[in-house]
Amino acid sequence: MAEPKQPRKSKKAQKKITIVRPPVQIFGHRGNSGYFPENSIKAFKSCLEISGISGAEIDVQMTRDGEVIVYHDEDLTRFGGPKAKIPTTSWNEIKKIDIGSYYGPEFAGTTIPLLDDLMALLPENSEDFLLNIELKISPVLKGENLKTFVHRLYTQVDSWVDPRKILFSSFNWDCLDILRHYSQEMRLGVLTDQPDERGWISKVKQLNAEFLIVPMSKCDPEFIALVTEELEAGIIAYTEFDYKLKE
């Protein structure tokens, strides 16, 4: 008796998936904020001094009297200062705030720097170090005041380096629109903490932004595949930790 025929194996070719892993670069979020007070001169200098760090992200805002400062929060309450929003507070009030003691007694006396203080530290040949300046836009900063802030920031950066070498980013896409008008070569990053809402796809395309910037917790393989399929932009993933306590 002939043996029963075995089921023929399908000759359908298996789909080959090739995963291309782009080089990963490390940026200091608010400077090297794991070891120094965030957005401080020491945190920024540390990023410049460590060979494994490719750049630094800092946050900027404008005070009531038009000074561009390096600071993240909407107000100063985290560091014992007034509850008033940064754009309604004078530089004279802000520069007296001790932000260092929040992180530890060894940092007592650390104050909020001006953007000029950090720009002065950039080496002349800063091609290998990418500075990402995030524009923090308070709800009270609207209309002409918003345009004034963006213009002041742009001209201030321009007094130190070619602004086209800096990456400008923001959750407020209106200010990115303003920056794009300065130059089609401006390096822009679209920030979103709601990547599921897909509005960022059209914004990145409209601005021809270089990067999409999202929380690290959102960067799963499915999301990365979506960005790769839809856009030519790179991805910057930022951490979401409070560095008050160092281990």
Instruction: Render pLDDT for 230-240 as a digit per residue (tens, 0 to 9).
Output: 998 999 998 87
Contact indicator for 218, 199 with CB cutoff of 8 Å: no
What type of residue sits at position 170?
A: S
Tell me the mean pLDDT in the region 195-221. Answer: 89
- Bridge pairing between strands 55-62 and 68-70: antiparallel
For residue 113, give every residue at least 6 positions away whose Cβ sits within 8 Å of its Cβ, in sequence order, or none: 39, 40, 41, 69, 70
Kindly report the CA angle at 40 between 46 and 172, in degrees rounded to 5? 110
Ranges of H-type helices in 113-220:
115-119, 143-158, 173-182, 199-207
Confidence bin at 22 (pLDDT 50/70/90)? low
Mean pLDDT, the chain, whole residue set: 88
Confidence bin at 17 (pLDDT 50/70/90)? very low
Query: Whole-angstrom Cα distance, residue 65 to residue 28?
Result: 29
Token pair listed for 141 = 């900063």
Task: Give yes or no for residue 160 having a pLDDT over 80.
Answer: yes
Phi first, then psi: give them for residue 170, nearest 5 degrees: -170, 150
Contact indicator for 219, 235 with CB cutoff of 8 Å: yes
Q: What is the pLDDT of residue 210?
A: 95
The DSSP code for 71 is -
Q: What is the pLDDT of residue 6?
A: 52
Report helix, strand or coil for 103.
coil
Query: Whole-angstrom Cα distance, residue 88 to residue 138?
Result: 10
Q: What is the pLDDT of residue 124?
A: 77
Would you say the pTM of this structure is higher than 0.85? yes
Q: What is the pLDDT of residue 133?
A: 98
Q: What is the pLDDT of residue 247?
A: 42
Phi first, then psi: give them for residue 207, nearest 5 degrees: -85, -15
Confidence bin at 14 (pLDDT 50/70/90)? very low
